[in-house]
Amino acid sequence: MTGGKKSDGKQSRSAVRAWGRAWSGGEIAVGPLLWMWLLICLPLAWFFGHLINDVPVYSARVVAAGLDWSGERGTVTVNRSQRVVEGGGRGGSSTVTHCFGDFAPAAGGAPLKDIRVHVEGGCEAGRTVAARLIRAEPDNWLTGTDQDQAYAGDGWGKALFIVLFMGAFLLIVGGLPIFCAVLFPVMILKGLYDRARARIRGRTADG
């Protein structure tokens, strides 16, 4: 048992020394870096990259559409409203009214029938207003993004909150593995280059 602990301690110290050499400009341990890049950096970078795109980036698009800054232009005609229960669990639930209508793209093409509409002033049937369309994203991890939605000056407040707080949190937490996924290949290439150069120098010296 004591020998195993000593062996583990030696391996840990060796790994620390390898990292120290890598960051101090010494010999770079290409093998460990490659495995860490493949098994840790890339999976985590993919996960957080996907999450950043699905949560704060999508929410930023919703804010821009709600403020009439971005999104597909068109008009929407409100045709009905529906009471929907949102939330649940320990946080409780609430009943809200969702508006639905038909969106006609300004660029032409077939209208989108009975889609969710975020519109100021209530869900008065027959009302037509200018709106911006956010297309459905079935692969998005956020709930509700698998359906087309139109924004006419409303529905962007919650999205702004998500952009400010979740965006900052995910950039801090996910920034490290993303940085790792970019930095480690550079370090690996540098290590391979240094090894090749050392071999060339060795052959030249022998010659």
pLDDT for the residue numbered 16: 47
What pTM value is reported for the model? Answer: 0.69
Please, which pLDDT band fits residue 115 given cuts at 50, 70 and 90?
Answer: very high
pLDDT for the residue numbered 37: 86
What are 119's two structure tokens? 């519109």
91 pLDDT higher than 80: no
Three-class SS state of 52: helix
pLDDT for the residue numbered 206: 62
Window from 22-26, 36-40, 171-175 with minimum mean pLDDT: 22-26
Mapped to the 3 state alphabet, what secondary structure does 56-123 carry?
HHHHHHHHHHHCCCCCEEEEEEEEEEEEEEEECHHHCEEEEEEEEEEEEECCCCCCEEEEEEEECCCC
Please, which pLDDT band fits residue 5 given cuts at 50, 70 and 90?
Answer: very low
15 pLDDT higher than 90: no
pLDDT for the residue numbered 46: 93
pLDDT for the residue numbered 11: 47
pLDDT for the residue numbered 12: 45
* Residue range 152-157: mean pLDDT, rounded: 90
User: The tokens 């975020």 sit on which residue?
Assistant: 118
Three-class SS state of 132: strand
pLDDT for the residue numbered 150: 95
* Residue range 24-38: mean pLDDT, rounded: 72
d(CA 189, CA 177): 19
200 pLDDT higher than 50: yes
What are 100's two structure tokens? 């639905």
The chain-wide mean pLDDT, for the chain, equals 82
155, 66 Cβ separation under 8 angstroms: yes
Please, which pLDDT band fits residue 17 given cuts at 50, 70 and 90?
Answer: low
- Give phi and psi for 142, each to the nearest 5: -75, 140
83 pLDDT higher than 70: yes
pLDDT for the residue numbered 192: 81
pLDDT digits (tens, 9 = 90+) for 155-178: 899 899 999 999 899 988 888 888
